[in-house]
Structure 1
Amino acid sequence: MTARPGFPPLTWLYAPGDRPEVVGKALASGADVVLIDLEDAVAPDRKEYARAATAERLTGRPPVPVHVRVNALDSPWAQADLAALATLPGLSGLRLPKVTSPSDVVRVAERAAPADGGAIALYALLETALGVEQAFAIATAHPAVRGIALGESDLRADLGVREDAGLDWSRSRVVVAARAAALPPPAQSVYPDTRDLEGLARSCAHGRTLGFLGRAAIHPRQLPVIERAYAPSTEEISLAEEILKAAAREPGAQALPDGRFIDTAVVREAYRTLSLARRRR
């Protein structure tokens, strides 16, 4: 089941562009957004085929939003990716890997602009120390930017981080930059072990405490775990409803009978909780 239109996505599923049968399964997986990958998942000798197969797929409108991760902007394939895909009716967004400066985003926005004067949604992936340092500048580089996120595998290698917690500062930096730029909360980067669902659940719980919303996946079996981790629990929904009822009875800051204090920020978070709870069909 996918998110209703107008509600935030929680699950983003990658599928390699050179395997159309896998893309087809991803579209039927229940993921909120399908990410067709032309970059890391595709070998150099399969790049042209992946691009052509993806272009053919996106000549029509797929059942769920589809984003395409194009090749790195300094690669031999990036410009051909943009030329082939940017104006197709089935494309909902372009994911730009290894962005390190605002100028990277501006160049793509200008080259990928549709003839009708609109703008294709751009999502910048920050995968190096330089990209993380430029997070806010990248997030505000162009009106076409609709989101930023980390690419943690490359970032881990760039920083020489061995323990997962070593990425928490970078994670918080990106969450803050997205909020400061009035963009949606970032989705977490992929969890690479597709069989360790308990580890995935723990990692999602940690990501949620840091301010992420949803997560990218590389296998359909990961989707229900991500959904459960990020969807509000029954207890959270009940508390949010209680808060809004109290706020409706008596506007302004107040204490609930059990001693819990509520104010404008708490009420705002309660609205957000109930919005997430209503997102499923």
Structure 2
Amino acid sequence: MTFALGPAILFCPADRPERFHTALDRADAVILDLEDAVLPAAKATARGNLIDADIDPDRVIVRVNAPGSEAFVSDLATLSQTDFRTVMVAKTEEPEALAAFDPRFSLIALCETAQGVHAADRIAAHPQVVAMMWGAEDLVASIGGTSSRRPDGTYRDIARYARSRVLLEAGAQGKRAIDAVHIDIDDVEGLAQEAADAAASGFTATACIHPSQVPVIRAAYRPDDETVAWARAVLTAAEQERGVFRFEGRMVDEPVLRHARSVVSRAR
């Protein structure tokens, strides 16, 4: 099982079925949310909307409620009545909790509590996990904090640690990583900087909460023409070289070539 969605993945409340098609038209993939975006009284209706949804299941992720909750049991029963097979598991805290899913489901583990980030290595190793995501606000709340960001909008150290750990543990297991949402919708510059950093750091995608954020994320993940031209040129040069070689004044070895391959892949 592999994960190849992104780079802009848009959350959509599952109790708003009139938004499903629009969200999918605007983003690379959609997360139909049964968890935080839906009030408890509306969850049953939201599950019915999933069953009735007529959208491409290959571009849909369903976020279910946390394992162990009463809502989680109902979410699983609903999924069995749909064609959706990629599931984001809210507040994943231990790999053992993922045993509730049968093998037909591909899982995205959302590590957004202290326990989840602490167990990220074991969660990433689960065979059904195809991607990892982290969440800032629930994480900080889980340890008694009040804000994941400093007054200037940058992440506090605890959030930066969680982001790095989830990315590293996903990479160690050959899994993909999804960066957290930027909740300040009007902060276009901040989103652009974070998404560009995510792409450069190795994230496959960035989640978002508003359609206006989609083009910003796409632009950040798309390498510029000069970088693409360099990547293609150095890969072409590598075909005539053996081992380490010099290219445009720079030493090139296999890690540099992997960077170049990644650039060309993102350009496609």
1:202 aligns with 2:193: yes
Per the alignment, residue 128 of structure 1 pairs with 113
Q: Which of the numbers 37, 40, 56 marks the counterpart of 2:33?
A: 37
1:170 aligns with 2:170: no
Match of 1:17 in 2: 14
% identity of equivalent residues? 37
Contact 2:50 2:82 in 1 (8 A): no
Q: What TM-score do the two structures reach when normalised by structure 2?
A: 0.91
- Indicate how the Cα distance of structure 1 residues 94 and 6 shifts in structure 2: closer, same or farther if over 3 A, else same: closer
Task: Kindly state the Cα deviation for residue 201 of structure 1 after the two structures are TM-superposed.
Answer: 0.7
Name the aligned partner's letter for residue 103 of structure 1: E
Query: C-alpha distance in 1, partners of 2:24/2:116?
Result: 31
What TM-score, normalized by structure 1, do the two folds share?
0.87
Cα distance, 1:27–1:138 mapped onto 2, change above 3 Å: same
Q: Give the 4+ runs in structure 1 shifted more than 4 A.
A: 5-8
- Residue 102 in structure 1 maps to residue 95 in structure 2: yes
- Provide the C-alpha distance between the structure 2 equivalents of 1:210 and 1:172, rounded to a whole number of angstroms: 9
Output the CA distance in 2 between the equivalents of 1:119 and 1:158. Answer: 31
AA of the residue aligned to 1:219: H
Number of residue pairs the alignment of both structures matches: 259
* Superposition deviation, residue 181 in structure 1: 0.9
Unaligned runs of 5+ in 2: none
Distance in 1 between residues matched to 2:9 and 2:149, nearest whole Å: 26
List aligned pairs for 1:31-70, cutoff 5 A. Answer: 31-57=27-53, 60-62=54-56, 65-70=59-64
Q: Secondary structure at the match of 1:28?
A: helix
Aligned mate of 1:158, from 134, 139, 142:
142
Residue 156 of structure 1 deviates from its aligned partner by 2.4
Mapped pair 1:88 → 2:82: yes
CA–CA distance in 2 between the matches of 1:169 and 1:80? 34
The DSSP-based 3-state class of the residue aligned with 1:251 is coil
**Pair 1:77-2:71 in alignment:** yes
Mapped partners of 2:267, 2:81: distance in 1? 34
